[in-house]
Amino acid sequence: MSLKIGTSGVVVLGSMETHPNIGQPPDLRVFQRRRIRGMTTKPSRSIEVFVESGCDWLWTWSGACFGYRRQVSLFTHDGLEVGRFCGADIHGPDGWYIGEIITAEDGPRLITNVYKKTRVRAPFTPDSDRPQRRLEARVPEPLFVGHEDFPSPEIAKRQRHARPEFVAS
């Protein structure tokens, strides 16, 4: 069996014997090279930029720097995981809804929709990360009807261990 990549980007697999009628190997298989989704041969960012963008900093609706998002987890600035994202919604370690992420004029902000406070997901064991230097506060945004400010990092850390009881009506 041999493997050859032609100049046109074609991969050829086949034995070294040639077919008598067409002069090609009898078990010749030709495959087009496919680009894996999201993969490229050229680096799109430098390593420094990737390290800096490893977490997205988030502010509350009132402008306080809350912490950062790393993948699906929400961490306070001192490295404690206080929530996980499910789409735009954020649920605490006990599974209860604590807020959501909405885009404001200066980027994404954290806010709580009072109508969603009864939503529950599966609980999880919180993780921890390295503490980060807390960034400066931003200008507060006016609240929407039916919303309140996202809990401060200190309140969110206290809620991290509290488990409200679900009362069936």
Kindly compute the dihedral angle of the four CA atoms of residues 153, 158, 159, 161, in this order, to the nearest 10 degrees: 130
Asked if 105 and 27 sit in the same domain, the reply is: no
Asked if 17 and 57 sit in the same domain, the reply is: no
User: How confident is the prediction along the chain (169 residues), in pLDDT tens digits per residue?
Assistant: 444 444 444 444 444 444 454 554 444 444 344 444 444 444 433 333 333 346 799 999 999 999 999 999 999 999 999 999 999 999 999 999 999 999 988 889 999 999 999 999 999 999 999 888 889 999 999 999 999 999 988 887 776 655 554 444 4
For residue 37, tell me if it sits in a domain.
no
For residue 125, tell me if it sits in a domain.
yes
Asked if 126 and 154 sit in the same domain, the reply is: yes
Q: What's the pTM?
A: 0.62
pLDDT at residue number 30: 42
136 exposure class (CB count in 10 Å sphere: 0-12, 13-18, 19+): exposed
Asked if 25 and 58 sit in the same domain, the reply is: no
Tell me the residue range of the domain where 20 lies: 2-32
Asked if 78 and 154 sit in the same domain, the reply is: yes
